Amino acid sequence: MAALDIRPLTRWTGAEIVGPDLSEPVDDNLAESLRRALGDWQVIFFPDQHLDIAAQKRLTRVFGPLTRSPYVVPMADDPDVIAVLKEADEVNVGVFGGDWHSDFSFLKDPPLGSVLNAVEVPPWGGDTLWANQVAALEALPDTLRQAIEGRNVIHIGKPYGVSHAPPEEERAGGSIRMVRNDPEADRETEHPAIRIDPVSGQFALNFNPTYAVRLSGMREDESAPLLDAVHRHTTRPEFCCRFRWRAGCVAVWNNYTTMHYAVNDYDGHRRMLYRTTFGK
């Protein structure tokens, strides 16, 4: 394996990796080291890369085959890539990914991870947070563990569906287009409350407030106090890292072991990142 210069952001979550030039093809040794680093840190960051889309897709394939995301309209000339864009004149609107979520957890087979490549960033704000759900599980109080262990959670594509659609003012602005009011997104998918990452074999909590609505066999109002308690635990700052983007930075995260949150605090400035997704 290749030796990496790994600079942790926090005790458990997130590390910057300095050195590799990802605009060049990644050889097998480096690929193995990068996958290992992702398994160790759940989200890894590469400063000063300035990747074009071809290099971003090549990097994505180091972690798994490229997958396409439903409901979010991709770039017209490349269906593998989503432009995560908020224009300077989109003010007082929601932002794509602006609450804790793990990507498309309501699908039967959610993507294993994503790559985000910063092209243009605001002079301040626009950070992204990740919360490590392996660390959150390890520190879960016994009472909560007993309440969820062996149970399933119902996930629904709330923002895209009909019955749970968010109010207009909370929706993402116009530059990123999403399919709305699709009854298919109201379909309930059952997933284990504690899921296993098929790549690293690590166990992680599988709740997120964007898509997880209740425990299987319980009504939403019955589940709500438990889900609230789990949510307060899973997003404790000790399990999180917060990344300040610079143009040219690339992030790769494990979608099975983390949640993430795009902070919407840069009205009046443009922010543009390319996103690709990988699966098994």
Give the residue at shortest CB distance from ligand SIN.
97
**What are the backbone angles phi and psi of residue 119, rounded to the nearest 5°?**
-100, -50
- Interface residues with ligand SIN (CB under 6 A) are 84, 96-97, 128, 260, 262, 273, 275
Q: Which is nearer to ligand SIN, 119 or 144 (CB)?
A: 119
Asked whether the beta carbons of 278 and 66 are under 8 A apart, the reply is yes
> CB 158 → ligand SIN: shortest distance, Å?
15
Residue with tokens 């990068």: 34
Q: Which is nearer to ligand SIN, 31 or 119 (CB)?
A: 119
How many alpha carbons lie under 13 Å from residue 270 in its C-beta half-sphere? 9
Q: Which is nearer to ligand SIN, 30 or 113 (CB)?
A: 113
> CB 126 → ligand SIN: shortest distance, Å?
7
Q: Which is nearer to ligand SIN, 227 or 273 (CB)?
A: 273
Q: Which is nearer to ligand SIN, 12 or 96 (CB)?
A: 96
> CB 142 → ligand SIN: shortest distance, Å?
32
> CB 116 → ligand SIN: shortest distance, Å?
6
Asked whether the beta carbons of 45 and 205 are under 8 A apart, the reply is no
d(CA 86, CA 262): 12
Q: Which is nearer to ligand SIN, 148 or 160 (CB)?
A: 160
Query: Would you state the structure tokens that stand for residue 240, as one six-digit string?
Result: 């999180």
Angle, vertex CA 116, rays to CA 110 and CA 120, nearest 5: 145
DSSP 73-115: --BTTBTT-EEEEE-TT--SSB-TT-SSB-TTTTSSS--SEEE
Q: Which is nearer to ligand SIN, 105 or 223 (CB)?
A: 105
> CB 101 → ligand SIN: shortest distance, Å?
7
d(CA 75, CA 82): 6
d(CA 108, CA 191): 8
> CB 260 → ligand SIN: shortest distance, Å?
6
Tell me whether strands 203-205 and 194-196 are parallel, antiparallel or unpaired.
Answer: antiparallel
Radius of gyration of the chain (CA): 18
> CB 182 → ligand SIN: shortest distance, Å?
19
